[in-house]
Structure 1
């Protein structure tokens, strides 16, 4: 059984997952926790004054952040985002387990639930980063396993920006999930190095031998 967080690391860099497992590194920095917590405070933040917002770990100016939250309130699922069916719920599927930040009830009684992944980082221009898409597929599959029904989509929330993106479980997304799952299961010794832009700020770069960017750095 693979943790959701391990699966996301495997999608980002299997070698980083190897070091995280070896060092039993499952800690979440306080700043990351603070940014995740913003996802549970949208109504109070939407009209918060500048002074309040400046004390928070948001990634936009107060005015831009309020505009983003105003747009968020126009979503058809906004009421369910701020009042989900479940919050921070542990879910275990056939292959993966971990915390699902929110489970939104279906729009109608017969519609499937919509799980969410909360990211403390910055979204790409379009869509979501692949590790977050893989994690979104994993949580959707775990909820589907529990409910014994198909869950065709999930959401990724970027609360420090005030943006929510959809991830549909397409053939391509599910293939990326399976690749990450195989990579996570196969790790015994250090996987091959990945020498590219992911490595520049990696927590393990000194022992890994590469010199560029980390999964954790995307979360900051």
Structure 2
């Protein structure tokens, strides 16, 4: 299944069910403009207030520059700002989808190890996949749907490169914030639990307990009713 669909199911299985029913998985057009920010960190570090106000950032210009200054202190900043690979399509055992960046080694190479050479050794640092979120970060860590998505991307990259990928990154470019997701037992369990939820789905799932998620859901007015979505009523489904 698509990795992005898995993340939606992690957010709310019921929302995933309705999106599947209506074939409604396309993100809003505004998402692309926010994701583009993740490829322009270096340019925006010194941008003027006026220039930054024209961008789809979620914080004030001075805060944005401060966040980017903190980001530039990361050991992997050069690779974040100029990734070895962009928009990499990955096919894992369970899921397929796009890693928005794949960060190579510190020397700027793609992360392909010497193991690929005849008689070579697998002693290179592993590549790091990233996903770019158009939303807001939590105070610490990442939201569960993005944790699940990050694990899925890392596992897909591990299958393609035939090596362990111990972590992935989640970028929140509207804030200039980057968070790390390690493939811990807890995070891999969240991934497997979401896969099981999707694979065992028979009919409309039960409502989730966290009703705060419903406020931002496009299905909130029809959730749990027999009313068809506007897209379906217009013959677009």
Q: TM-score, normalised by structure 1?
A: 0.91
Trace 1:77-88 onto structure 2 (pairs within 5 A).
77-88=76-87
1:198 corresponding residue in structure 2:
213
Structure 1: segments with no counterpart, 5+ residues: 211-220
1:213 corresponding residue in structure 2:
none
Query: How far apart are 1:97 and its partner, in Å?
Result: 0.5
Query: How far apart are 1:209 and its partner, in Å?
Result: 3.6
Query: How far apart are 1:133 and its partner, in Å?
Result: 0.5
CA separation in 1, counterparts of 2:143 and 2:105?
Answer: 25
Select 1:114's aligned residue among 113, 125, 128: 128
2:62 corresponding residue in structure 1:
63
Query: How far apart are 1:82 and its partner, in Å?
Result: 1.3
1:179 corresponding residue in structure 2:
193
Q: 8 Å contact 2:85–2:103 — kept in the other structure?
A: yes
Q: 8 Å contact 2:5–2:25 — kept in the other structure?
A: no
Query: How far apart are 1:49 and its partner, in Å?
Result: 0.7
C-alpha deviations, 1:157-184, integer Å up to 9, x for none?
0000001000000000000000011112
Structure 2: segments with no counterpart, 5+ residues: 108-112, 114-123, 226-237
1:15 corresponding residue in structure 2:
14
Q: 8 Å contact 1:6–1:184 — kept in the other structure?
A: no
Query: How far apart are 1:127 and its partner, in Å?
Result: 0.4
- Paired residues in the alignment total 209
Q: TM-score, normalised by structure 2?
A: 0.85
1:139 corresponding residue in structure 2:
153
Larger Rg: 2
Query: How far apart are 1:188 and its partner, in Å?
Result: 3.6
CA separation in 2, counterparts of 1:28 and 1:151?
Answer: 28
C-alpha deviations, 1:112-155, integer Å up to 9, x for none?
11000101111011100010000000000000000000000000
Q: What's the Cα RMSD here? A: 1.4
Query: How far apart are 1:62 and its partner, in Å?
Result: 0.5
CA separation in 2, counterparts of 1:201 and 1:141?
Answer: 29
